[in-house]
Structure 1
Amino acid sequence: MTDEPADPPNGAVASDGGRIESEVATVETNDSPYPTDDPVLARIGGTPLVEYPEPTDGGDVLLKLESDNPTGSMKDRLALGIVRELEADGRLADGDVVVEASSGNTAGAISLVTNRLGYDGVLTVPAGTSSQKIGYVRSFGSEIVECPNVDADDERHYRKTAERIAAERDGIWIDQYSNQLNPTVHYEWTGPELWDQAPGGLTHVVCPMGTGGTASGIAKFVKERKPDVRVIGVDAEDSNISTAFYGTDSGAYDTEVEGLGKDHELPTMWFEYVDEVRSVGDERAFVQARRAAAESGVLVGGSSGAAISVARDVASDRPDANVVAIGCDSGDQYFDTVFDDAWMRERGYRTDYR
């Protein structure tokens, strides 16, 4: 693969500045490093990169729509990639139990992958996990263990419970928060896919950070090919990814944007490939997600709203910018929260998206 594609992929036409003129850039086949004959799992990846419809005062914003994955989330890549890597290494075999702790999209993704590949899945979740997230787990037939909301060092915590269940049942604990396969999957899959889709003039990648795996893997791949592409991680406002990145004092972790931010740095955050981290407040993330749907027909969740808002800021400051924002999941999992006026008002957030 060359550092600079001679032409934009899939017939897209670029101007002299390298800016993409077509509305959609897609990969013609799902060229996954984790091939499968399963017709459902074969739909993971190959998600479109689209021109974001809301114009800026400067450069262009492109949005990677991970909502096109089977469970509507980028976590499908994580689940399939890690399971396939474990199979290839001989650490996962027929009859094994796959265990994971997740209050978010990873739960549904692991449940789908274990369902299709014939493994028993056990998902531990904290009390209060949304019925939509739990619905994926139950629908795909995985076992679900609800745990009390306790401190992380309490043996009843959902992560410690997952680790214990894996040990007791001789299973495999995915552990997305520490497992280096998390960013590796995105280095081997999401990064190359994005690189092949994006115009040659790509200047920035903006990605929400939770475990940090997606941003880290993409960043490493892109930086190895074009070091001057600027990678910006997006953190929640009351979160400690940014404080860890900049070496400042940490504070209390408190955000309502699902999947965004963490209370401390994780091993899956490869900061050496990330140029900067910007923090976005809950209200701004939610209002941008609502605007994306109402004005642009783009249905995404709050973390994607945060990424879009940062991407628009960057593009507005750079007339020559081609900024890719990673849209982590679909907004249809947030109809009873982000897109519900009463829920927003209860928290003091404005509902006017303009």
Structure 2
Amino acid sequence: MEKSLKQLNNINSIVELIGNTPLIELNGFKELSSDKRIFVKAEWFNPGGSIKDRAALSMINDGIASKRLTSNKTIMDSSSGNTAIAYAMIGAALGFKVELVTPENINVERKKTLQAYGAKIIYSSPFEGSDGAIIEARKLAKNFPDKYFMPDQYNNKANPDAHYKTTGPEIWEQTSHEITHFISGIGTSGTAMGTSKFLKEKNKQIKTIGVQPDDSLHGLEGLKHIPSSIVPGIYNEYQLDEIYWANTEKSYEVMEKLVKLEGMFVGHSGGAVVLAALEELEMVDKATIVCVIPDGGYRYLSGGVWW
């Protein structure tokens, strides 16, 4: 305990707490046994509350190193929530102004969090979703190149690199190299791409599964239905062994079970990835599955899911 307290006292910036999140084994689901295990990578433990802290820090550091981000520039990008909050938190910690383009219908929790960090919000059409925000952000970056540094999370190699360098190695060591399946939701696809690349290099037999909503009109915030969306430049479907098409209602049911059976208050996509893991268990005799849960449920309190 004394050592851990000393380490905490030596932290110089909040950004140093990004990463090294816990891996937690699930115990409450009837599908589990000593041969069929599911672990969740608890990314809501990041200081900004989500896995997007990793990618945001990586892209900002890359911008600084390449001199595309200088002290007189404003960080600007599109985001439906978690990445926006990560940019805002890191920008505040490092002394950069931040502006975010986000659909006008994002929930009140996210709006207030961004405002608390001092970020400026630029609203795009709620009817065009994340694609509309992407288009608007690109226009701003093109029209005001001297003002903005746009990380462009959907096309920036530093996004998946963050997970290749941190998330993947953490999971590999935390499972003592025993992981058999890796499951991640697909939004920008950075987590799925970077982590799966690292794990496949360690063991080609690890099955990698990307989770997408099963319909273009869905309720799984943070996940992207690739067939009906602007395809991220960093996305490569051939890096994954399988795509799991998640049903919104079933994902919500698993999300609620995670709260009541495991005490884990997680977000929408957390339910979706664990749903995929539970169904995968039905097809195998033995497995050590790791699911990435990107964020906590408190980001969705006003969305009508929690009663």
TM-score (norm 1): 0.77
For 1:104, the aligned partner's letter is G
Per-residue CA deviation, residues 17-63 of structure 1 (Å, 9 max, x unaligned), is: xxxxxxxxxxx9xxxxxxx9643111110100011122425510011
Alignment equivalent of 1:126, drawn from 103, 109, 121 = 103
Partners of 2:108 and 2:303 in 1: how far apart?
A: 12
Partners of 1:89 and 1:272 in 2: how far apart?
A: 30
Alignment equivalent of 2:140, drawn from 165, 169, 186 = 165
| Number of aligned residues | 292
Q: Which has the larger radius of gyration?
A: 1
Partners of 1:150 and 1:315 in 2: how far apart?
A: 38
Query: Does structure 1 retain, via aligned residues, the 8 Å contact 2:109–2:302?
Result: no
Partners of 2:128 and 2:259 in 1: how far apart?
A: 36
Partners of 1:234 and 1:276 in 2: how far apart?
A: 9
**Alignment partner, residue 188 of structure 1:** 165
**Does the alignment pair 1:40 with 2:3?**
no
Q: How far did residue 151 of structure 1 move?
A: 4.6
Partners of 2:181 and 2:149 in 1: how far apart?
A: 37
**Alignment partner, residue 281 of structure 1:** 247
Per-residue CA deviation, residues 105-142 of structure 1 (Å, 9 max, x unaligned), is: 11111100111111110111111111111122111111
TM-score (norm 2): 0.89
Q: How far did residue 313 of structure 1 move?
A: 1.8
Alignment equivalent of 1:321, drawn from 274, 277, 287 = 287
Structure 1 vs Structure 2: percent identity of aligned residues?
29
Alignment equivalent of 1:231, drawn from 208, 229, 239 = 208
Q: Which has the higher contact order (CA 8 A, sep 6+)?
A: 2
**Alignment partner, residue 207 of structure 1:** 184
Query: Does structure 1 retain, via aligned residues, the 8 Å contact 2:13–2:93?
Result: no
Q: How does 1:14-25 map to 2 (within 5 A)?
A: none
Q: How does 1:60-209 map to 2 (within 5 A)?
A: 60-149=37-126, 151=128, 157-166=132-141, 167-168=143-144, 169-209=146-186
Query: Does structure 1 retain, via aligned residues, the 8 Å contact 2:42–2:292?
Result: yes
**Alignment partner, residue 275 of structure 2:** 309
For 2:264, the aligned partner's letter is V
- In terms of fraction of residues, the more helix-rich structure is 2
Query: Does structure 1 retain, via aligned residues, the 8 Å contact 2:72–2:147?
Result: no
Alignment equivalent of 1:258, drawn from 213, 221, 226 = 221
Partners of 2:290 and 2:126 in 1: how far apart?
A: 36
- Structure 1: any 5+ residue segments left out of the alignment? 1-27, 29-35, 239-252, 342-354
- Structure 2: any 5+ residue segments left out of the alignment? 5-9
Q: How far did residue 218 of structure 1 move?
A: 0.4
**Does the alignment pair 1:54 with 2:28?**
yes
Partners of 2:139 and 2:272 in 1: how far apart?
A: 35
Q: How far did residue 338 of structure 1 move?
A: 5.5
- Inter-CA distance 57–111: structure 2 relative to 1 (3 Å threshold): closer
Query: Does structure 2 retain, via aligned residues, the 8 Å contact 1:66–1:72?
Result: yes
